[in-house]
Amino acid sequence: MKPVIRIIGVPMDLGQLRRGVDMGPSAIRYAGLDVKLGSLGYQLQDCGNIEVKDWDILSQGDTISYADAITGTCTHTYEAARKAIAEGCFPLFLGGDHSIAIGSIGGITHDSPTGVIWVDAHGDFNIPETSPNGNIHGMPVAVLTGYGLPQLVHLGRPGPKVKPSDIILLGTRNLDFDERSLLKKCGIKIFTMRDIDEHGIGTIARHAIKALHHCNRIHISLDMDIIDPSEAPGVGTKAPGGITYREAHLLMEILSDTGLVKSMDIVEINPILDNHNQTALLAVELIASLLGQRIL
Residue 132 has phi, psi (to 5 degrees) of -75, -15
Active-site annotation holder among 225, 228, 265, 285: 225
Residues 182-201 pLDDT 10s = 998 999 999 999 999 999 99
Strands 261-267 and 218-223: parallel
Whether residue 296 is contained in a domain is answered as no
What total number of domains does the chain contain? 1
For the cut 80, the answer to whether the pLDDT of residue 180 exceeds it is: yes
111 tagged catalytic = no
Q: What is the pLDDT of residue 228?
A: 97
CA distances from residue 182 to 13, 155, 264 in whole angstroms, order as listed: 25, 22, 26
- For residue 96, say if its preceding peptide bond is cis, omega within 30 degrees of 0: yes
Dist. CA 163–CA 148, nearest whole Å:
15
Dist. CA 288–CA 48, nearest whole Å:
20
- Cα angle, residue 280 at apex, residues 274 and 286 outer, rounded to 5°: 135
pTM exceeds cut of 0.95 = yes
For the cut 90, the answer to whether the pLDDT of residue 205 exceeds it is: yes
Dist. CA 58–CA 65, nearest whole Å:
8
The domain spanning residue 138 has which CATH number? 3.40.800.10
Whether residue 295 is contained in a domain is answered as no
268 tagged catalytic = yes
Active-site annotation holder among 179, 265, 268, 274: 268
Residues 122-164 pLDDT 10s = 999 999 988 888 899 999 999 999 999 999 999 999 999 999 9
Whether residue 230 is contained in a domain is answered as yes
How high does pLDDT run on average in the chain? Answer: 95
265 tagged catalytic = no
DSSP 259-271: S-EEEEEEE-B-G
Whether residue 130 is contained in a domain is answered as yes
225 tagged catalytic = yes
120 tagged catalytic = yes
Q: What is the pLDDT of residue 293?
A: 96
Which residues lie closer than 8 Å to 228 by C-beta, 6 or more apart? Answer: 240, 241, 242, 243, 244
DSSP 6-66: EEEEE---TTSSSTTGGGHHHHHHHTTHHHHHHHTT--EEEEEE-----GGGSPPSSGGGG
Q: What is the pLDDT of residue 18?
A: 84
Confidence tier at 30 by pLDDT (50, 70, 90): very high
Residues 245-278 pLDDT 10s = 999 999 999 999 999 999 999 999 999 999 999 9
Residue 243 has phi, psi (to 5 degrees) of -70, 160
239 vs 55, higher pLDDT? 239
Contact status, residue 244 vs residue 171, Cβ threshold 8 Å: no
179 tagged catalytic = no
Residue 110 has phi, psi (to 5 degrees) of -60, -45
Range of the domain at 221: 5-290
Q: What is the pLDDT of residue 63?
A: 67
Confidence tier at 216 by pLDDT (50, 70, 90): very high
Q: What is the pLDDT of residue 39?
A: 97
Dist. CA 115–CA 127, nearest whole Å:
22
Active-site annotation holder among 13, 97, 124, 247: 124
Active-site annotation holder among 122, 179, 228, 249: 122
Dist. CA 45–CA 57, nearest whole Å:
31
CA distances from residue 55 to 13, 63, 240 in whole angstroms, order as listed: 8, 10, 29
Residues 54-79 pLDDT 10s = 877 776 665 677 899 999 999 999 99
Whether residue 119 is contained in a domain is answered as yes
Residues 273-296 pLDDT 10s = 999 999 999 999 999 999 999 987
